């Protein structure tokens, strides 16, 4: 769906926004680009959508070179900080943008009513968007991105300004859209949003992608068991586990077989086991690690 190699962007004001970004979005997946504000996420999206030029880009979008505008007919786009003309109603907005994308009147009518209701805007379709809340504008923006029945959706901060219930609805909708066979490329600075919905993620910090893969594969190495004891950890523990503190033993493995003999031995020693916990990093830990690494010169390829 999207394949990018070594994208560079230097803004005229000499901001080096992208420093050699490569990534791949596959058919039928939800791919999340994650990074703090100013990381370069929107810059990358705008390059893909031909809104701005890259300083250097090679890659393809739906198998056509980046920059080919014809292919954009098959892509739905929600830009960041979008502004719809405030004097149009929600329904008029959808018709307006779909007409720009050459969608027939017949399709516009059926899709507008279907997406307005799927995005929870029933009853608001004939009200002017000037009266919409930020969350409603965002939902309307997603409906707008769907009007051309796209194979790929590119959503820049889709849940920005949406309340928690609305966010959940948007996540469910994205999963449904994926199940219909569409790919979704979204970006967000909200970690938990991505963790819940994305099949794969890339973490971008200061214009570079520092990690990319499934959340499962990115957090694989961090898996461990933690055993908490009431009495002090016995001295033999230092020999058999990876980390020991007064009441805690850490075993860096996700294999339950490895911890069984340790538990047996603790019981033999009449140590009270308070808890045995399998632990793995979440996206936030991963993200913090990625941010830390960029502060260490040479740590990021
Ligand atoms: N038009 C512009 N001119 C100069 N610098 C810009 C422009 N747009 C964005 N930037 C800078 O490029 C960097 C990346 O911005 P952006 O892509 O918007 O990040 P994100 O979407 O991850 O928050 C930031 O330092 C931002 O200030
Ligand atoms: Mg942005």
Q: What distance in angstroms lies between residue 185's CA and the mean position of ligand 2's atoms?
A: 13
Angle formed by the axes of helices 90-100 and 134-146, nearest 10°: 30
| Helical residues (DSSP H) of the chain, grouped into ranges | 41-48, 90-100, 105-118, 134-146, 164-179, 191-197, 215-219, 237-240, 256-268, 283-294
For the CA of 11, the closest atom of ligand 1 is 4
Pairwise pLDDT comparison (17 vs 13), residue with the higher score = 17
Tell me, which fold does domain 2-218 have in CATH? Rossmann fold (3.40.50)
pLDDT in tens, 253-290: 889 999 999 999 999 999 999 999 998 877 778 778 77
Q: Strand pairing of 64-65 and 75-78?
A: unpaired
Q: What distance in angstroms lies between residue 100's CA and the mean position of ligand 2's atoms?
A: 24
Q: What is the CA radius of gyration of the chain?
A: 24
- Please name the residue that has the structure tokens 């979704």: 184
The share of the chain scoring above pLDDT 90, in percent, equals 70
In angstroms, the CA 96 to CA 86 distance is 13
Q: Which of 156, 129, 190, 207 is nearest to 51 (CA)?
A: 156
- Please name the residue that has the structure tokens 């900080």: 81
Q: Which ligand is nearest to the CA of 157?
A: 2
Pocket of ligand 1 (CB under 6 A): 11, 13, 15, 17, 35, 37-43
Environment class of residue 175 by beta-carbon count within 10 Å: exposed (0-12), middle (13-18) or buried (19+)? middle
Beginning with the edge strand found earlier in the chain, give each strand of the sheet holding 243-245 in spatial order: 243-245, 248-251, 224-229, 273-279
CATH 3.40.50.300 segments of the chain: 2-218
Number of H helices, E strands in the chain: 10, 14
Q: What distance in angstroms lies between residue 41's CA and the mean position of ligand 2's atoms?
A: 5
Q: What distance in angstroms lies between residue 217's CA and the mean position of ligand 2's atoms?
A: 26
Average pLDDT over residues 185-211: 88
pTM of structure: 0.83
Angle formed by the axes of helices 134-146 and 164-179, nearest 10°: 10
The protein residue with its alpha carbon nearest to ligand 1, atom 12, reads 17
φ/ψ (deg, to 5) at 98? -70, -35
pLDDT in tens, 137-172: 999 999 999 999 999 999 999 988 888 888 888 888
In angstroms, the CA 286 to CA 240 distance is 27
pLDDT in tens, 43-100: 999 999 999 999 999 999 999 999 898 999 899 999 999 999 999 999 999 999 999 9
φ/ψ (deg, to 5) at 14? 75, 25
For the CA of 39, the closest atom of ligand 1 is 22
As a dihedral over the C-alpha atoms of residue 214, residue 169, residue 61, residue 6, rounded to 10 degrees, the angle is -50
Reported as type and span, the H/E element at residue 31 is strand 30-34
In angstroms, the CA 82 to CA 145 distance is 12
């Amino acid at each position: 769906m999207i394949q990018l190699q070594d994208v560079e962007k230097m803004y005229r004001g000499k901001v080096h926004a992208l420093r050699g970004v490569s990534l791949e979005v596959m058919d039928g997946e939800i791919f999340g680009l994650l990074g703090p504000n100013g990381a370069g996420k929107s810059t990358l999206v705008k390059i893909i959508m031909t809104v701005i030029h890259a300083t250097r880009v090679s890659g393809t979008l739906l198998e056509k070179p980046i920059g080919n505008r014809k292919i954009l007919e098959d892509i739905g786009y929600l830009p960041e900080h979008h502004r719809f003309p405030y004097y149009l109603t929600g329904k008029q907005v959808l018709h307006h943008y779909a007409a720009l994308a050459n969608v027939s009147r017949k399709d516009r009518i059926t899709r507008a009513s279907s997406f307005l209701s799927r995005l929870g805007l029933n009853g608001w379709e004939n009200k002017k968007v000037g009266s919409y809340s930020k969350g409603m504008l965002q939902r309307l923006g997603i409906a707008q991105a769907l009007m051309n029945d796209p194979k790929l959706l590119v959503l820049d901060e889709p849940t920005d300004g949406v309340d928690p219930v609305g966010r959940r609805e948007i996540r469910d909708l994205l999963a449904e859209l994926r199940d219909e066979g569409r790919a979704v490329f979204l970006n967000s600075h909200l970690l938990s949003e991505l963790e819940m919905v994305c099949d794969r993620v890339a973490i971008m910090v200061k214009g570079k992608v520092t990690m990319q893969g499934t959340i499962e594969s990115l957090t694989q190495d961090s898996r461990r068991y933690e055993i908490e004891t009431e009495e002090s950890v016995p001295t033999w523990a230092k020999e058999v586990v990876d980390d020991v503190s007064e009441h805690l033993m850490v075993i860096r493995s996700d294999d339950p077989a490895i911890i069984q003999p340790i538990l047996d031995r603790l019981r033999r020693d009449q140590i009270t086991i308070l808890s045995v916990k399998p632990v793995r990093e979440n996206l936030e830990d991963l993200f913090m690690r990625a941010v830390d690494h960029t502060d260490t010169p040479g740590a990021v390829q």
